Every structure is written in C-alpha cells, then in structure tokens.
Amino acid sequence: MKLGVSTGSFYKPGKWIGTQKAIKEISKLDIKNIELGFIDFERVFKFDLKQAKKDLKGFKTIGIHLPAIHYKKNKETEFVTKVMFLLYKKLKADYVVTHSGWVKNPHYLKNKKWKVLIENDTGSYKTGYKKFGNFIKKHKFNVLLDVNHASDYGLKEVNNYIKNFKNKIKVVHLAGGHKRKSIWHKSFSKATKKFLKSIESIKKLNIPIIIEDNKIGVRELKKEIKKVKEWFNV
C-alpha cells in the first residue's frame, strides 16, 4: 500500500507548525509518501530548501499542493508558477496539484514540464463528477481524487469518479469526510460506516493514498495510519 501524509494534516485554524517541522514530524511515521502543502504562497519564503532536500530523502513519492490563487493570465500567476516550478524541480517532486475551481486558464499550468493533477472541489463549487469530468477531458489533465470533497455530492460520487476516470486518477486524498458546515476534514477514525462503504472502491487503486486530516501531532497521526491500514487489510 502506498500510504502517505499531507503536511496539511498538521494545520488547524490559527495553528500551523510550519512546513519544515511538518516534514520532520511525518518522517517519524511509518510511511514513504508525502504531500507538501503550500496553500498559502507565503509559506514558500519560510521554506529551507537545502534542509528539506535532506529531510525528504527517505520518501518515495513527493507531491506539492499549489497555492490557492486563480491561475490565469496575470503577473501573480506568472510569478507563483515560476517559483513553484523551481521548487518542483529542486525537490524532484512527482506531481503538483491544484483545485479545478482555481484554474481559470489551464494554459498557465500546462506551459511547464511538470506533472499537474487536478483535485475535485468541495460542494461549495458545485462541480460534481460530470462537470469536473468535462473539464478534465477537455484539457487532458490527470486527477487527484479527494474522497472527502466527493462525499459532499452524495455517497455514490466516489464510485462515479472511479467508474469514469479510473485510469486518470493518480493520487487519493483520504480522511473521514467533511465536518458538517465546515471546510475541514473529519478524522478517518471518526468516519461513518456509510462513508466507509461509499469509498470501498479506492482499495482497488494501486496509487498513493495521502491522509489529509486536520490534526496536530504525530501521536494522532499514528492512530490514523493504524486505522487506515486496518481498513485496507494491510
């Protein structure tokens, strides 16, 4: 099983230990895949690249979550993508990911030699699998399937994604669904039986499964990893 953790799992509103420390904490866990979250672009300028390259040596898969901006023809997009592409190359990352709702002009992501994945959005974007699928097919992107976001559209949505885009799904974000009236994810250990049954089909995917929880601390994540492995029977 290609299990991993997002540095975003160490974030809570008003509490952020920093990407650097999050990498060190994740390296203490029994996993070999990691996704670095740079939702806030300012985090890049507090990032010690030299130290990170050392700390990331033991990981098999390295992903980078791009900043939360609208990707279109403007100076902000030009600067952000230039910096993130440089980081991608320096870290020898395997993919970058952004949300479909943030991509206003795909050209400004496709004009660089990097592997771009598009993540399905939460219910607030009103882009279920059909609308998302049209975007993916039109612009020939591969997919990062966030099962928590998908569940906003109903318990059949994950199966719809896998049925229609199985060969395009390259990474999965896993937690226990969305907290009610919140953008935050539930812990996997708090997932309902209905939710777990609705995402059974991801067990057939031989791709990185990245835990994207909203917790702080290795102790909690160790429990989550144990629960996930038990559910996957590994």
The two three-digit tokens of residue 53, written as one number = 């390259």
DSSP alpha helix (H) spans, 92-211? 107-110, 129-139, 147-150, 157-165, 193-198
Which residue segment(s) compose the domain that 135 sits in? Answer: 3-232
Residue 159 has pLDDT above 70, yes or no: yes
The C-alpha atoms of residue 89 and residue 206 are separated, in whole angstroms, by 25
The C-alpha atoms of residue 136 and residue 143 are separated, in whole angstroms, by 8
> Phi and psi dihedrals of 191, rounded to 5?
-65, 145
The C-alpha atoms of residue 78 and residue 22 are separated, in whole angstroms, by 28
Structure-derived torsion over alpha carbons of residues 81, 82, 87, 88, reported in degrees to the nearest 10: 60
Tell me what the mean pLDDT of segment 53-70 comes to: 97
Helix (H) or strand (E) holding 223: helix 218-232
The C-alpha atoms of residue 7 and residue 17 are separated, in whole angstroms, by 10
If one compares 208 and 16, the residue with the highest pLDDT of the two is 208
Structural domains counted in the chain = 1
Q: pLDDT, tens digit, for every residue of 89-119?
A: 999 999 999 999 999 999 999 999 999 999 9
CATH of the domain at 53: 3.20.20.150
Predicted TM-score (pTM) of this structure = 0.95
